[in-house]
Structure 1
Amino acid sequence: MYLPIQKIALAAGLLAFAACTSDSGKNEAPTAPAAAAKPRAAAAPVAPPKAPEAPAEPRREALSGGPYPTLVLSQAQFVDKKGPDGRMMPAPGPAKLTIVRQTPEGWQTTILEDPESNVFHKATAFGDGLLTIGGNKAMLKTWKMENGAWTEEMHWNPTFGGRFNRLRDYEQGDVDNDGKDEIVIATHDQGVIAIIHPDEDWRVEQIDALPNTFVHEIELGDVDGDGDLEAFATPSKPNKLDQHQPGEVTGYRRSADGTWVKEVVDAPGDTHAKEILVADTDGDGKAEVFIVWEGAMDKGKLVREVTIK
């Protein structure tokens, strides 16, 4: 006959108690203690996060010998950087100048980089050095090679209040008839056109501004033959990949009281000028204005070809 489970458990408990206490009064050998649990292995220390990689030093390669015939290429470049997910991906690098000189030993290439901007939009000879404009950040600088090393001097570092801060183009010329050249600069993205006066401690004279406007190009020329240079610019709406940007060509004439008067030279209404040239091509003492207007598309079809005026 089987006992209920509860009674079997009770009987087992009584037998265990009897085994521990003898009627003879003799002490039984104590039960060996249970083996102590093995200590857990200490957790591996967590490695501290890696410090961000220090940016590479900009290339500032020295020029030697010369002067030689020189070609200066103003550039943007992309470099590989580690993203948040650890993968390498292209990112804007420092603004780059490639300086190519024709030496007696052949063509030699020298690199000059500026990490304060991600593009040089233009570079020209200026005095005994170079003049550059940059974008993001907007930088107007002069550079000199002294004792085998590049030195730089900042002259203008504006912020315009929009998404981009770029100095996009410039031309040099005596636009105020003081016998000294000024620098007329086009910018992104608030339509600022400014005249820089290097001989007046690089004074900045703003002559125009339009919200959300890219000014792509500046040209100078005397179109009426009066001996004074006029300035011409190509403002448009900001660039977009999938649509046209309407724009116009504007002219600026300095009046007798020193103020600048603006006029619209041409504006098709749907596209913008891709290039302009202001030059006296027929030798009559007056410059002509040539404009290359972008063609127009509608639903993937060309509705107006590129136009030159």
Structure 2
Amino acid sequence: MKSKIRQHTDALSNPSGSRAFLSPASPRKAPDVIALTAMLPTLLTVQLNKWCKRIFFSLLALMVSCSSTLAASQSVDIAVFEDHDKYVDAAIGYGLSWKLLSLAAADQDIAFVTQPSAWSAAIKRVQAHRVSLVFGAFKTKEREAWANFTYPLYAEGSAIFTSPSNKVSTMSDIDVVNSTIGVSSHSVQETMAKNIGFENIYSSRARTRLYTLLDEGRLDYLLFGQSIVSYYCLNHAKRKQRHCMKQVGDVIMPDWVRALADNQNPEAVEAIRKLNQGLRNIKDTDKAYQLFLSYGLNDSDYQRWLETLNSTISEN
């Protein structure tokens, strides 16, 4: 009996025996658990690598996308008339010219940043390189000395306007010695007024001020582009109709609306070059043709612009 008890006790204290019990303090692991535990660091490393790769390639794709967007879209600041959007809606010459230029800009991946400005201020700013382009300019010999221009956009004429009550109807009826005419400061129309022979010329940076003076009878005439008068009549006149002023005589020196840049500003000159290329690309498209129709114009108006544009291109 003593021998059996000793053998049983030895078996309990000998873990290497075939019948040894597992000690609670030293549990044995199943083979699957041991294998899984050994593989865990490797599995985690593989998964982390996958996540890192996904994050890396996502960031890389985002960087490429942003880089492509920046490269594709060039922002160009351009001075426009004050109340620009209303001019686009009200005035055919101004509005159609702007939409044609915008179509050319889109073709060249140019995004305009408009800067509303009085005309004289816009000219000073473009010459000081504080703005790249000025929209709504006529091409003159004086400006050609310092500026580069886009191709012609749409035709715009200047004319003398007066109040409907004025009985004068022709240029020859105007008393240029005693009459007073209002013009925008540093504009083509200011030079026109001098050439016509007006001795009393009132120039102002504020166009609305000139309209008011005409209404009050303190000015006899205005010399403006037709687009400017259309804008005033539809937005500021007491009777909002397109022909709220009386035009005296025929259009004076009809010309084409353009954008200009100072020829000593390389970036602005490059923008002009791109816009001209854009005009070449869009001139024969249906999109350009539809813009003419949207302003109530017809096929002959479109063909006249196309002929003028093609002629200008061939000269350059």
Work out which structure has the larger RCO, using CA pairs closer than 8 Å and 6 or more positions apart in sequence: 2
* TM-score normalised by structure 1 residue count: 0.26
* TM-score normalised by structure 2 residue count: 0.26
Higher helix share goes to which structure?
A: 2
